[in-house]
Amino acid sequence: MAVPNLRSILEENDDDSYIEGVHNYCNRWCERCPFTERCLNFAISSEIFPDAESQDIQSRAFWDGLYRVFAQTLELVREMAVEQGVDLEALDSPQERAAYDRHKALLDAAVEESPLHQAAQAYTALAAGWLDSSQELFQAKGEELTRLALAGLDEERLEAKAISLTDAVEVIRWYQLFIGVKLIRAITGAIDEAEDDPEMLAEFGRDSDGSAKIALIAIDHSIGAWGVLLAGFPERETETLTILAHLDRLRRAAEREFPNARAFVRAGWDTGEVTVQPPHPTPPHSDSLSE
């Protein structure tokens, strides 16, 4: 597969029709995103992976394309380093590598010890357990809705119910790992920011808050989706309520640890570029989940 030149893509797309940084704190769900026309990240991905085959992670075309992008990215980084007078060799000295390893070990330890990270991991396992053990339930529900439709019940309402349940499962699956990944970025970002210029942080915002914000949004959407499953599968009420309570505790813990996250302004999403209707189920009132 011929992969377009990365630098020429960046130069061709260097115009105001793109919202700078819109992809920085998004949920990466491009299929459901209102900003595909204004996202440079999406434009680049679409040019590099234009068809179903090149987007299929199982295909040779995908991995060939990714490898070529990797090689081009390295080349681009080297060119930019030369342009800006940065000595990449110096950054790869034994001292720099040792310093990097020490810093990484510090970040890894902080993540491992973080109750927030532990709670996010526990959620991932809880969600996986629920979904994996519900395959027969999903099949039975599908058959039940089909039976009711054949029996002449309101077909439109039944279809809406099926879509809502499918949608809820998709939302949960999408965010199942995403929440933990974004919280790791928030935790490690907060440590790195301790060395950053406070004025710069005040002007541009903290990456840790942006990461925590998208994690919180993912939690909100997931709570809404679990609410839909709670109503749709009353036979699993106890396990679903346990997960909902766990997610709500995670939400409150993240808000405590990152008190400014909700107020973080994300380019495009929080700057009135478009009025975005949430494509996800509405969360139930959080008070009802509190202990």
Residue numbers at the binding site for ligand SF4 (CB under 6 A)? 22-23, 26, 28-30, 33, 35-36, 39, 41-42
Contact 182, 219 (CB under 8 A): no
Amino acid identity for residue 83 in this structure: E
Query: Least distance to ligand SF4 from the beta carbon of 152, Å?
Result: 41
Nearer Cβ to ligand SF4 (33/172): 33
Query: Least distance to ligand SF4 from the beta carbon of 155, Å?
Result: 33
CA distance linking residue 246 with residue 115, whole number of Å? 13
CA distance linking residue 155 with residue 145, whole number of Å? 9
Nearer Cβ to ligand SF4 (170/255): 170
Nearer Cβ to ligand SF4 (210/232): 210
Query: Least distance to ligand SF4 from the beta carbon of 7, Å?
Result: 20
Please give the structure tokens belonging to residue 194: 């301790």
Nearer Cβ to ligand SF4 (111/219): 219
Query: Least distance to ligand SF4 from the beta carbon of 170, Å?
Result: 15
If you write DSSP's letter for every residue of 131-153 in order, what string do you get?
HHTTHHHHHHHHHHHHHHHHTTS
Please give the structure tokens belonging to residue 96: 């720099």
CA distance linking residue 222 with residue 205, whole number of Å? 26
Please give the structure tokens belonging to residue 168: 């809820």
Query: Least distance to ligand SF4 from the beta carbon of 28, Å?
Result: 5
The sign of the CA dihedral 152, 155, 157, 158 is positive
Nearer Cβ to ligand SF4 (174/226): 174
The four Cα atoms 2, 28, 126, 107 give a dihedral, to 10 degrees, of: 90
Residue at token pair 């395959």: 135
- CB within 8 A of 145, min separation 6: which ones? 158, 161, 162
Query: Least distance to ligand SF4 from the beta carbon of 5, Å?
Result: 21
Nearer Cβ to ligand SF4 (45/124): 45
Query: Least distance to ligand SF4 from the beta carbon of 236, Å?
Result: 31
Nearer Cβ to ligand SF4 (233/269): 269
Contact 242, 289 (CB under 8 A): no
Q: Reduce the DSSP state of residue 17 to 3 states and report it.
A: coil
